Structure 1
């Protein structure tokens, strides 16, 4: 049953928020298209809210077809020219209000839960979560701290390592450090050994990531990462390891449960799981759902996934990514508090293989949010 909404029998109103100011704007739109198509309109009143690349909030069409990737140069985006929309707090409720030129403001009604399908900074990093906490609006997924820690790969490693979880060696280089002492930064990178990866510390979807085979490639890799974030993570490559992921999902009683793990295998000219391999035609990757690993490795990955989820104080959902070496040992690559829900995304595939199909997964997340209050928990 749906949780009663302020004593009324109306359907809960879900604002699906997507787009945003980060470099993952297009992927957020694709994710939203899939989720909008999956939400049961008989159970929920759905309002699509887009955040344009310049930060403007607008009332979007919600047409899933408009939110699909049509090709490498035809990525979807939020239409900034649509009617502006805002959350308005009054008399103990938070309403969605549309404001159009030469028209009086019109209220779409009270928002019961926000489904923030934002990837990257200014959304997945605790910023929108903090705004929703201030507004007293329930929302899907992790809270402020877990979102912020998990978005910043450098701090995520600190927290996971402090909790006794295995992570790869890395160093963090800021734009200021790279400018002031490039030789020292190169020495720090060299101490990790090559090959290594240069990653925007607070990015996602493999945007701005480069594999650095030797010292001659470091400067160009740093330049590529710094285009997206003034903070770069240089991380030792997991040579010979398999990339395996595991989903975590809370039950209504708060206990986390795990999906079957799944493996990503890169094909063709791709040396790692880059943007094209993730989101463009699937011939770039081969996916094993579930992963073909011994039962003991599966159990170990599932246990590590729950420990990572709890270490950062996560809520709702997460995808935990691992590198698994030939001897079966694993290290945590990262934890993603708002994993993609695109047609190619691993998180819904893993749960479907675990017995929870896409619509049921989306419904579970909304119900979790409706049953959780804002504020200190």
Structure 2
């Protein structure tokens, strides 16, 4: 494409600010190396005033924001009004993916297996009564990167509910034992979504939490296309990831997270991420590389496939 001037959105207001800054630093290096002119904006509460000024003379916005305000349809809506193409999904898909209960309803309707869940209030949790049979998971209904997630196991003591008071909406869902698996999907403009690979995540933590995702000290092991994964399971994960991407109306890059219990054969989708991380420890760049697409090629592809909602 002829576009050369990129506005890189970085940082932002969410709990995932540090992840966004790390992703953006990697993206900026790659874009500059590819010959693009890059300017940046760290959007705050005054974004309605700062964004129009930052967009002057810009051809494409690279959205490296993560979490609330940057990944949930809000910034996408402003960019649609400006009619400047931006990377990743549009308003509706971004909003639905961030809303875990609603996205799971759509997945189930599309035949993608899900985990049973129900809404819960902090007041209910504070009574000490279990809202579901143990083991179960407590999580914010609208959050990413495993922020705020707590697992309640059989025989464990009182659940630490600290931090949950900051969320307007909470949910609980069944805990699925077994293996943590993830699949990245790319969709070029005018083409069908294409799943890249299956990665198994092995961590010494209780689950693939925020630290396991973004801290080098966590020593999480990424196994791309593991030989120990049955072929029919791998194929199901690839096809369901593409279906989930399409069901939500996503575009560009996404990543779908799953649990697989080899004892029962159960597979369940947990969520779709419309702004997959682009840090040195992130999964999308790793899976893209497994298909022969290096990091610079990946971010250039994202720029070339940037779009506004129709």
- Name the TM-score, length of structure 2 as normaliser: 0.91
- Any idea what the Cα deviations from partners look like across 1:135-175, whole Å, max 9, x if unmatched? 11111011111100101112111221122211111111245
Q: Residues 174 and 129 from structure 1, CA distance in 2 versus in 1: closer, same or farther, beyond 3 angstroms? A: farther
The aligned residue for residue 337 of structure 1 is 274
CA contact (8 A) 1:15 1:47 kept: yes
Residues 1:86 and 2:50 are matched in the alignment: yes
Unaligned runs of at least 5 residues, structure 2: none
The aligned residue for residue 315 of structure 1 is 251
| Residue-pair matches, total | 308
Unaligned runs of at least 5 residues, structure 1: 5-10, 58-83, 89-94, 98-108
Residues 1:34 and 2:30 are matched in the alignment: no
Highest CA radius of gyration, 1 or 2?
1
CA contact (8 A) 1:198 1:225 kept: no
**Partner secondary structure for residue 335 of structure 1:** strand
CA contact (8 A) 2:189 2:305 kept: yes
- Name the TM-score, length of structure 1 as normaliser: 0.76
The aligned residue for residue 105 of structure 1 is none
Give matches, 1:165-180, under 5 Å: 165-175=112-122, 178=123
The aligned residue for residue 198 of structure 1 is 138
> Whole-Å Cα distance in 1 between the matches of residues 46 and 226 of structure 2?
41
> Whole-Å Cα distance in 2 between the matches of residues 375 and 285 of structure 1?
37
> Whole-Å Cα distance in 1 between the matches of residues 121 and 63 of structure 2?
29
The aligned residue for residue 79 of structure 1 is none
**Partner secondary structure for residue 140 of structure 1:** coil
Q: CA offset at residue 123 of structure 1? A: 1.1
> Whole-Å Cα distance in 2 between the matches of residues 279 and 31 of structure 1?
11
The aligned residue for residue 365 of structure 1 is 302
Q: Residues 45 and 213 from structure 1, CA distance in 2 versus in 1: closer, same or farther, beyond 3 angstroms? A: same
Residues 1:290 and 2:248 are matched in the alignment: no
CA contact (8 A) 1:246 1:305 kept: yes
Residues 1:233 and 2:171 are matched in the alignment: yes
CA contact (8 A) 1:142 1:314 kept: yes
Residues 1:13 and 2:12 are matched in the alignment: no
The aligned residue for residue 96 of structure 2 is 149
The aligned residue for residue 303 of structure 1 is 239
Q: CA offset at residue 331 of structure 1? A: 0.9
> Whole-Å Cα distance in 1 between the matches of residues 300 and 158 of structure 2?
45
CA contact (8 A) 1:200 1:226 kept: no
**Partner secondary structure for residue 41 of structure 2:** strand
